[in-house]
Amino acid sequence: MLSNLTSLLAAAEPLGEIDAWAVVLGIGIVFCGLVVIILVCYLMGILAQEKPVADTTVAQPEEPVEQKVLIEAEPEVVVALSAVIAEDMGVDATDFRIISIEKI
């Protein structure tokens, strides 16, 4: 089997000067493209990082807090709200607990 492979390689025509140059040029273009993709990904990673925001808020004097009206929710409403919140958060409804429902 090895002799068959050797005979096939010996019978193959050598690449001409132009063919070899085309192969080298093609491989070079592919690697240059890969380097460009790597650089673009690196720059996008730098640009996408969140920058820390300085806290420029001034302490306000506390105002009296209004009493919030708690609603006596029916169980069906609680189940529906749980399903909507779970779907939006992408978690299971058993992963969190609704403590209270307040009217806005």
pLDDT tens digits, 35-83: 999 999 999 999 988 777 666 666 666 666 566 555 677 888 888 888 8
pLDDT in the model for residue 95? 85
Tell me, yes or no, whether 36 and 69 share the same domain: no
Q: How many domains does the chain have?
A: 2
The C-alpha angle with vertex 76 and arms to 70 and 99, in degrees rounded to 5, equals: 40
Q: How far is CA 38 from the centre of its chain?
A: 16
Say yes or no: 43 and 69 in one domain: no
In whole angstroms, give the CA distance from residue 88 to residue 34: 38
Q: Is 68 found in the same domain as 47?
A: no
Decide if 84 is inside a domain: yes
Looking at the domain assignment, is residue 2 inside a domain?
Answer: no
- In this structure, the answer to whether residues 48 and 68 fall within a common structural domain is no
The answer to the question of residue 10 being in a domain is no
* Cα 5 from Cα 26, distance rounded (Å): 27
Q: Supply the range of the domain harboring residue 92.
A: 64-104
Listed in sequence order, the DSSP H helices in the chain are 2-11, 17-48, 75-89
- At residue 21 the predicted structure's pLDDT band, cuts being 50, 70 and 90, is confident
Same-domain status, 68 and 43:
no
Q: Residue 27 has what pLDDT? A: 95
